[in-house]
Amino acid sequence: MKHLQRPGLGELLRYVAELVEQGAEEQYRRMGLEYRPRFTPVMRALAAGAETVTDVTKQTRLTQGAVSQTVKLMGGAGLVERYGVSDGRKSGLRLTRDGRELARALEPQWEATFTAIGELEKEIGYPLLTVLQETANALDRQGFGPRLAAANDARIEAVHG
């Protein structure tokens, strides 16, 4: 039962994500902006040329559902608009004029974010972004479910030998 006393990977990742978002929200408020940190990956992807939910999903590694939900919120805030594309199967996405202006205004903040991450990495002594990227790549190759099943099978085999 001692394993229940330490936080799991999901708990730690959620906690760190919450702390990062809280810090970003504080900075946006100091800047006088009503802006949600969850918009940033979508905003950056669209500013970099993404044109569909699928494009944004590929660039950000967010789920299609998360991207669609964020796009809807951003549309409600007047930052993103949908438009018809020639093949008629998908709708395109683009930043509105307000969205483009906001993206330009946020560029220095996003650069400061990466500087702060670099300072955090120096403090903890680990290349955090690299570790997380390599973790994501490993989980893309083999999901956590199969890894967990294999660990459980190995535990059962060790007990019943």
pLDDT tens figures, 15-28: 999 999 999 999 99
pLDDT of 1 strictly over 90: no
Confidence of residue 34 (pLDDT cuts 50, 70, 90): confident
Residue 86 has a pLDDT of 76
- Picking from 72, 75, 41, the residue whose alpha carbon sits closest to that of residue 57 is 41
pLDDT of 3 strictly over 70: no
Confidence of residue 129 (pLDDT cuts 50, 70, 90): very high
Among the ranges given (37-41, 50-54, 83-87), the one the predictor scored with the smallest mean pLDDT: 83-87
Among the ranges given (70-74, 86-90, 108-112, 149-153), the one the predictor scored with the smallest mean pLDDT: 86-90
| Average pLDDT score, the chain | 93
The reply to whether the predicted model has a pTM over 0.85 is no
DSSP 1-26: -GGGGSPPHHHHHHHHHHHHHHHHHH
Three-state SS sequence of 34-88:
CCCHHHHHHHHHHHCCCCCHHHHHHHHCCCHHHHHHHHHHHHHCCCEEEEECCCC
Percent of residues, the chain, with pLDDT higher than 70 = 96
Confidence of residue 2 (pLDDT cuts 50, 70, 90): low
